[in-house]
Amino acid sequence: MESREISRAVIKRLPRYYRYLGDLLDEKVDRISSNELSQKMHVTASQIRQDLNNFGGFGQQGYGYNVAFLHKEIGKILGLDVVHSMIIIGAGNLGQALANYGGFDRKGFRLEGIFDVNPDLKGKPVQDLKIQMVNSLPAFLKKNPVEIAILTLPRGSAQEMADILVQNGIRAIWNFAHVDLDTPENVIVENVHLSESLMTLSYNLSSRNPD
Amino acid sequence: MESREISRAVIKRLPRYYRYLGDLLDEKVDRISSNELSQKMHVTASQIRQDLNNFGGFGQQGYGYNVAFLHKEIGKILGLDVVHSMIIIGAGNLGQALANYGGFDRKGFRLEGIFDVNPDLKGKPVQDLKIQMVNSLPAFLKKNPVEIAILTLPRGSAQEMADILVQNGIRAIWNFAHVDLDTPENVIVENVHLSESLMTLSYNLSSRNPD
């Protein structure tokens, strides 16, 4: 499996397959045909067969896909078979919303710490953690190696914090700040630019209803 | 302008241009060459020229782009020249984070109400609004026509709420629930599936560091 090259387009669709297969597992569904999955996901059955054939031999004629097996294999490809440690930088509403979302934990993302600059928030409990001050971050990361930092700071302080995170060994940043970060090539940055998503919605509204 | 067909690929890049041009405006930059913009955005200058030439005549040889004009024109295309009214359904941390983000207001998205089912939250102030109960939503929408609903409910109750919203005249849903909504074709849905974004990050981490 490791040696097989899967196209970026297929990779981009895998999280959605993973979500639907997880739902089917929750509903105690053992197997599903590409046609049934097609109806659920609003994707053509031939697209599904093409995508899932990339992994070889999951589907069987007249039987369909084994849901648990496929869910597990796609999970492996997505790196969900190992535990990823995370910290949140920025304990505002967005940071706390992400901390409180239980779904990440179930997928193997373990929150190890939550940090802020606001001294009023120091020690405040969030889930089973207490908010720490950002100035204790380097010492924390020395003791607790963490892979992923979730950045929910205002845009003005995001780049400076990204530099500190990278210097202290963070290998991936999930960036919610409304700014593109400058980071070394070996650091992975995944952006969630919410305002751009809202603009796309606005464009679709305007173009559907020309005045 | 209205009659010109712009490709989906270009449209998808417009919010990012809009963000960078807005930053330049804030920095009091009047004009910028495609080369300078290229360095800032990490996009090739020829890509920028190709994209922006879609709108015709914005760039001038030896002068560059007029930042204010280009910002305004792209804003029009994105539907940001008109005010969009919004409500938030779900006043948890995520709903409150979105309510408190001032950037939407500056882009012409006006928050008209915030709703929840939890009676403990009734009347609690968020920005200059007070949290209302979801059962008052139909009456509210009859009095206050709203275009966009921001859905930050848990996935289990999202579809039912989407049905209610559509029945009461909502034309666009910005969906943060971890589920794909079933809606009539004339309703626009823009999804922010955060867990899928995190899985993409996890995939990139795993594929960069094969064990």
pLDDT in tens, B112-134: 999 999 999 999 999 899 999 99
Q: Is A114 exposed, middle or buried (0-12, 13-18, 19+ CB in 10 A)?
A: buried
In a domain, B210, yes or no: no
Q: Is the pLDDT of residue A88 over 90?
A: yes
B82-103 pLDDT per residue, tens: 999 999 999 999 999 999 887 7
A145-164 residues touching B, CB cutoff 8 A: 147-148
**B84–A11 CB contact, under 8 Å:** no
Q: Predicted confidence band at B190 (pLDDT cuts at 50, 70, 90)? A: very high
Minimal Cβ distance to B202: which of A19, A84, A100: A84
Residue in B164, B171, B100, B167 with CA at minimum distance from that of residue B129: B100
Average pLDDT along chain B = 90
**Domain span holding position B63:** 8-77
Confidence of residue A56 (pLDDT cuts 50, 70, 90): low
What is the SS3 string spanning A57-108?
CCEECCCEEEHHHHHHHHHHHCCCCCCEEEEEECCCHHHHHHHHCHHHHHCC
Rounded to an integer, what is the distance from CA B210 to the centroid of its chain?
36
* Alpha carbons B145 and B167: distance in angstroms, whole number: 13
Beta bridge partners of B66: B31
Pair A49, A93 in one domain: no
pLDDT band at B2 (very low <50, low <70, confident <90, very high): very low
Quote the pLDDT of residue B95.
95
Q: Among positive and negative, which fits the CA dihedral B148, B152, B155, B158?
A: negative
Supply the pLDDT for residue A61.
65
How many CA atoms lie within 13 Å of A90's alpha carbon, on the beta-carbon side? 24
CA neighbor of A200 nearest in space, from B110, B35, B173: B173
Q: Which residues contact B91 (CB under 8 A, 6 or more apart)?
A: B99, B114, B115, B116, B118, B121, B124, B126, B131
Residue A2 has pLDDT above 60, yes or no: no
Nearest CB among A82, A195, A205 relative to B79 is that of A205
d(C-alpha B88, C-alpha B153), whole Å: 10
Residues A57 and A97 reside in one and the same domain:
no
Selected residue with higher pLDDT from A68 and B56: A68
Please state, in angstroms and rounded to a whole number, the distance separating the CA atoms of residues B177 and B156.
9
Question: What integer is the mean pLDDT of A6-32?
Answer: 91
Residue B2 belongs to a domain? no
User: Which of B181, B199, B207 to mutate to test binding with chain A, by most A CBs within 10 Å of its CB?
Assistant: B199
Within an 8 Å CB–CB cutoff, is residue B4 touching chain A? no
My answer on whether A37 and A64 are in the same domain is yes
Total of domains in chain A: 2
pLDDT at A210 over 60: no
Residues A181 and A91 in one domain: yes
Separation in Å, CA of B188 to nearest CA in chain A:
7
Please give the structure tokens belonging to residue A201. Answer: 């919605």
Task: Find the mean pLDDT for residues B132-139.
Answer: 96
What is the tens place of the pLDDT at every residue in A129-186? 999 999 999 999 999 999 999 999 998 999 999 999 999 999 999 999 999 999 999 9
Contact residues on chain B for A181, CB-CB shorter than 8 A? none
CB B148 within 8 A of CB B173: yes
- CA-closest candidate to residue A175, choices A88, A79, A115: A88
Question: pLDDT per residue over A186-197, tens digit each?
Answer: 999 999 999 999
Indicate which CATH number applies to the domain containing A91. Answer: 3.40.50.720
Does the CB of A13 have a partner CB in chain B at under 8 Å? no
CB spacing of B109 vs A194 below 8 angstroms: no
pLDDT of residue B209: 58
pLDDT of residue A1: 43
Mapped onto helix, strand or coil, the DSSP state of residue A138 is: helix
Four-CA torsion B20, B25, B26, B30, nearest 10 degrees = 120
A160, A109: one domain: yes
Six-digit token string for A92: 């505002």
For residue B67, the domain's CATH number is 1.10.10.10
Instruction: Report the distance separating Cα B172 and Cα A203, nearest Å.
Output: 11
A187 part of contact set with chain B, CB < 8 Å = no
Give the per-residue pLDDT at B60.
63
Write the residue in A19, A84, A171 that is nearest to B178 by C-beta. A19
Please report, for residues A206, A208, B9, B150, B182, the alpha-carbon distance to residue B185 in angstroms, rounded to integers and kept in the order given: 15, 11, 22, 18, 9
Domain identity same for B99 and B43: no
Q: Residue B206 — very low, low, confident or very high, per pLDDT cuts 50/70/90?
A: confident
At B31, give phi and psi (nearest 5°): -145, 160
Supply the pLDDT for residue B199: 94
* Averaged pLDDT for residues B2-8: 64
Q: How far apart are CA B49 and CA B65, in angstroms?
A: 10
pLDDT of residue A39: 92
Same-domain check for residues B51 and B99: no
Q: What is the spatial distance between Cα A44 and Cα A16, in angstroms, rounded to a whole number?
A: 14
CB of B174 within 8 Å of a chain A CB? The answer is yes
Look at residue B62 and tell me whether its pLDDT is greater than 90: no
How far away is chain A from the Cα of B208, in angstroms, using its nearest Cα?
9
Give the C-alpha separation, A70 to A178, whole Å.
36
Residues A92 and A163 both lie in one domain: yes
What ipTM does the predicted assembly reach?
A: 0.90
Q: What is the pLDDT of residue A208?
A: 75
pLDDT (mean) for A32-50: 91
* Residues B105 and B151 placed together within one structural domain of the fold: yes
Bridging pattern class, strands A125-126 and A129-130: antiparallel
Task: State whether B104 and A207 contact (CB < 8 Å).
Answer: no
The pTM assigned to this predicted structure is 0.90
Give the position of tokens 């922010």: B192
Alpha carbons A57 and A23: distance in angstroms, whole number:
22
Q: Assess B42–A contact: CB distance below 8 Å, yes or no.
A: yes
* Claim to verify: residue A41 and residue A128 sit in the same structural domain: no
Q: Which two tokens stand for residue A204?
A: 């679709």
> Does residue A109 belong to the interface with chain B, where contact is any CB pair within 8 Å?
yes
Per-residue confidence (pLDDT) for residue B58, from 0 to 100: 60
- Cβ pair A103:B178 closer than 8 A: yes
Of B110, B202, B187, residue with least CA distance to A188: B202
Amino acid identity for residue B36 in this structure: E
